[in-house]
């Protein structure tokens, strides 16, 4: 498994590196540590063997071979050291049979006054020492001693404890390091996500104030950018709102002037005046929707919840469908509710009604003559949250796949000529989308199998107690 998050990567890599370095250090120090036991052992054995050598020589001088034999016997019994005494010609004088391969050692010992050593198998050591008897003859004593006790094998529990200590310390340090390095990154990430979700007032600075590194610079740059964007978007919206408001005044005058013209003109002008009235009505409708959209976007961005009341979605869908069916029947179209399960959500009934109404009206507009718009409402769950799923499907031409995403953009038109004829302004779905978003839901569009556009609403429901 390759860890995906930067935090995990940094943490695991540094942790691994520190642990490996620690373990390597532990092992090398263990291997190269000078053994202090050997010199001490030599000193101790040297003294002992020298003493035995001198005593043996003296005993041989005084009591002959038998006395020496018993002396060596006594040594063996008291200290488990089996010694052999040689004369200067290298012949065995007394003791146990000489250990094999001792000749060279004996020769070495005879030429020296120092204790001579020769390692043998299994950690034992042959030790030899020359000694001069009081009569001037020299003897050599050879003993097989257990070698210096080898370094005890490293205890497994000891090793585990040390490794664990390294792991824990490294883990703590690496955790801190990884946190320190990645926390500003994740902070920036949340801020960017917040911003793309529409919350333009997001800033990262307060969280990075204590730092003074590149991350802090990046945070400040982000804040600067966010401020610019917020200003631009705000100005654009304000402009749209101001224009919309201001357009109403000339429109009000136009309406009055129109009626004056109606009074004063003859029948010839009637058709044109009717047309002017219709267009002015459309313009007014458009302005109203624009203002509505701007207001909704403010609500969505401000995170202001919609009016809080309990809304029976099934009733709402039924009502909208009945009205729309009534209107559509005049145009040889129909609206049909396939299924409407009981669903209760919290929000503004007025807003939700107009969202569903906009979606259904849009469907009625595009569905073929003699066909039915189908609505269904049922309950599903999304991320373990109960959620209402409303589907509105028409039997119209559908929308090119590439345009599906654009459908909720204000003024978006799939095909200009047809849309204008059908009387759409291009704001209905945009408004619906903002309303659904305001209620914490989502609105998606897809082409249904068998033709026609399918718009789906997902709305979080009240959790059942």
Could you say whether residue 292 binds other proteins (CB under 8 A)? yes
Query: 98: closest CA among 87, 86, 80?
Result: 86
439 CB-side CA count, 13 A: 34
- Using CB under 8 A as the binding rule, the residues of this chain from 295 to 334 that contact other proteins are 319, 323, 326-327, 329-332
Q: How far is the CB of 247 from other proteins (least distance, A)?
A: 9
For strand 334-340 and strand 372-382, is the pairing parallel, antiparallel, or unpaired?
A: parallel
Residue from 256, 267, 402, 417 touching other proteins (CB under 8 A): that is 256
Question: Torsion angle, CA of 311/315/317/323, rounded to 10 degrees?
Answer: -120
Residue from 26, 67, 167, 254 touching other proteins (CB under 8 A): that is 254
Residue from 209, 245, 341, 418 touching other proteins (CB under 8 A): that is 245
Could you say whether residue 376 binds other proteins (CB under 8 A)? no
Selected range binding other proteins among 6-14, 150-158, 213-221, 420-428, rule: CB under 8 A: 420-428
Query: 183: closest CA among 145, 159, 157, 210?
Result: 210
Selected range binding other proteins among 53-61, 144-152, 280-288, 397-405, rule: CB under 8 A: 280-288
Alpha helices in 309-370 (DSSP H): 313-329, 349-366
Can 245 be counted among the known catalytic residues? yes
Per-residue b or e along 162-175, where b marks 16 or more CB atoms closer than 10 Å to that residue's CB = beeebeeebeeebe
Q: How far is the CB of 314 from other proteins (least distance, A)?
A: 18
Closer CB to other proteins, 248 or 378, in the complex: 248
Catalytic residue among 96, 180, 245, 439: 245
Could you say whether residue 421 binds other proteins (CB under 8 A)? yes
Place of tokens 């309303």: 435
Place of tokens 């089996």: 82
Q: How far is the CB of 4 from other proteins (least distance, A)?
A: 48
Closer CB to other proteins, 214 or 369, in the complex: 369
Selected range binding other proteins among 85-93, 174-182, 244-252, 429-437, rule: CB under 8 A: 244-252
For strand 124-132 and strand 334-340, is the pairing parallel, antiparallel, or unpaired?
A: unpaired
CA atoms of 396 and 360, how far apart (whole Å) = 13
Q: Which run of H or E residues covers position 382?
A: strand 372-382
Could you say whether residue 271 binds other proteins (CB under 8 A)? yes
Residue from 278, 338, 385, 405 touching other proteins (CB under 8 A): that is 278
Task: Answer whether 356's CB lies under 8 Å from 349's CB.
Answer: no
Could you say whether residue 172 binds other proteins (CB under 8 A)? no
Selected range binding other proteins among 90-98, 130-138, 389-397, 417-425, rule: CB under 8 A: 417-425
Q: How far is the CB of 217 from other proteins (least distance, A)?
A: 46
442: which residues sit within 8 A by CB, 6+ positions away?
436, 457, 458
Task: Answer whether 208's CB lies under 8 Å from 187's CB.
Answer: yes
Selected range binding other proteins among 26-34, 207-215, 229-237, 272-280, rule: CB under 8 A: 272-280
* Count of residues in contact with other proteins, rule CB under 8 A: 37
CA atoms of 248 and 281, how far apart (whole Å) = 11
Could you say whether residue 281 binds other proteins (CB under 8 A)? yes
Place of tokens 């917040």: 194
Could you say whether residue 249 binds other proteins (CB under 8 A)? yes
Q: How far is the CB of 358 from other proteins (least distance, A)?
A: 13
Could you say whether residue 417 binds other proteins (CB under 8 A)? no
Task: Answer whether 103's CB lies under 8 Å from 86's CB.
Answer: no
25: which residues sit within 8 A by CB, 6+ positions away?
none
Could you say whether residue 251 binds other proteins (CB under 8 A)? yes
Residue from 154, 229, 239, 257 touching other proteins (CB under 8 A): that is 257
Could you say whether residue 103 binds other proteins (CB under 8 A)? no
Burial class (CB in 10 A: 0-12, 13-18, 19+), 394: buried
Length of the chain: 465
CA atoms of 156 and 147, how far apart (whole Å) = 24
Q: How far is the CB of 198 from other proteins (least distance, A)?
A: 22
Which positions lie near other proteins, rule CB under 8 A? 245, 248-249, 251-257, 259-260, 263, 270-271, 273-275, 277-278, 280-281, 284, 288, 291-292, 319, 323, 326-327, 329-332, 421-423
Q: Would you name the residues annotated as active-site residues? A: 245
């Amino acid at each position: 498994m390759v860890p995906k998050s930067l935090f995990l990567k940094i943490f695991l890599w540094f942790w691994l590196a520190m642990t490996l370095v620690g373990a390597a250090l532990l092992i090398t120090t263990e291997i190269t540590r000078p053994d202090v036991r050997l010199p001490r052992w030599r000193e101790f054995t040297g003294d002992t063997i020298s003493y035995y050598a001198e005593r043996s020589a003296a005993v041989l001088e005084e009591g002959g071979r038998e006395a020496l034999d018993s002396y060596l016997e006594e040594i063996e019994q008291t200290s488990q050291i089996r010694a052999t005494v040689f004369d200067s010609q290298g012949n065995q004088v007394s003791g146990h049979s000489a250990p094999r391969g001792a000749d060279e050692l004996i020769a070495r010992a005879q030429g020296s006054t120092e204790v001579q050593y020769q390692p043998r198998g299994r950690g034992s050591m042959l030790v030899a020492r020359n000694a001069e008897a009081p009569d001037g003859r020299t003897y050599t004593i050879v003993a097989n001693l257990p070698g210096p006790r080898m370094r005890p094998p490293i205890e497994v529990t000891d090793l585990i404890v040390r490794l664990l200590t390294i792991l824990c310390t490294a883990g703590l340090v690496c955790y801190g390091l990884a946190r320190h390095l990645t926390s500003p990154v994740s902070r920036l990430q949340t801020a960017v996500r917040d911003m793309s979700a529409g919350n333009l007032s997001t800033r990262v600075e307060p969280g990075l104030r204590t730092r003074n590194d590149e991350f802090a610079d990046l945070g400040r740059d982000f804040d600067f950018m966010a401020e610019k964007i917020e200003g631009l978007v705000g100005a654009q919206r304000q402009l749209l709102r101001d224009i919309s408001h201001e357009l109403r005044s000339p429109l009000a005058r136009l309406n009055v002037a129109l009626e004056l013209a109606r009074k004063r003109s003859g029948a010839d002008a009637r058709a044109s005046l009717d047309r002017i009235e219709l267009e002015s009505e459309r313009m007014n409708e458009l302005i109203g929707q624009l203002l509505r959209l701007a207001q909704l976007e403010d609500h969505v961005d401000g995170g202001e919840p919609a009016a809080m009341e309990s809304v029976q979605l099934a009733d709402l869908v039924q009502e909208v469908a009945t009205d729309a069916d009534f209107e559509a029947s005049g145009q040889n179209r129909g609206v049909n509710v396939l299924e409407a399960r009981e669903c209760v959500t919290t929000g503004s009934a007025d807003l939700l009604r107009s969202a569903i109404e906009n979606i259904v009206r849009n469907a009625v507009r595009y569905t073929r003559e003699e066909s039915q718009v189908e609505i269904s409402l049922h309950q599903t769950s999304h991320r373990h949250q109960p959620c209402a799923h409303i589907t509105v499907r028409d039997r119209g031409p559908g929308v090119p796949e590439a345009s599906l995403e654009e459908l909720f953009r204000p003024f978006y038109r799939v095909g200009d000529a047809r849309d204008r004829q059908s009387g759409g302004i291009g704001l209905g779905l945009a408004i619906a989308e903002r309303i659904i978003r305001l209620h914490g839901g989502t609105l998606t569009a897809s082409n249904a199998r068998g033709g026609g556009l399918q718009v789906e609403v997902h709305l979080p429901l009240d959790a059942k107690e």
